[in-house]
Structure 1
């Protein structure tokens, strides 16, 4: 059944994934994939049945939809590699996701807009998120360099 294969696949991927990747994958599987596919056999899982899952996830959490599709694809590949599903029986979920617009993210460029930005950042409940946003604002850094900064001496990422 799907839940057992999903669990086995996650455990197989765990050694090669970062902790956060594993946490997110586990969350997506437990919260979104397993409830919808709990009674499905991985051997007979088909595209028409499965295509409904990313669509329902999109309605609840659009940002997780592509990850859910990715994890589901990995589980199908895992099942094929381990003889739990016939060779060549992959799912076609590429067109399952609605197109989203990836518009321009505006920047605060005027002094009178800065006050609203500072107030919006101060409203975040999470102290970690609030601190990261304040750091980004004060240093004019993008999120990736803040999340994985490099030291000036060794050039290695700080953990």
Structure 2
């Protein structure tokens, strides 16, 4: 019975370590997807002169995962005509935030972008999109560095923490 409990403890702590490592791995991927989506949004708005709701739904169809859900939710809120572009963007970010593996500073960048979306002419909107992409690029580089530095550590720490708990309990 003791060995079963010990095995359960090691499995749980190992699973938690791998979960934390997965979050570190997903963060740069989600930021990269956001940057790509914003580049597509820029092309749709500036060059294709596509309305914001239509551009957002097109982008959501090109992507998968939580970033696609963010743009799909944004498009849905815009087509319902119950909110301004800023309100729709904020609501979409809040709705999909838990599924995104991002930090608060990326949320701030997204919300700052949302405050200007749909309120400027195409040239200023393009500049705002570029600025947002630049911020996300910097955050992606930081996230990659953190992933390289800590991903393996979290996995190892999960196993070792379980072993430590077992040793202390015996």
Q: So what's the TM-score if we normalise by structure 2? A: 0.28
Q: So what's the TM-score if we normalise by structure 1? A: 0.29
Say which structure is richer in helix: 2
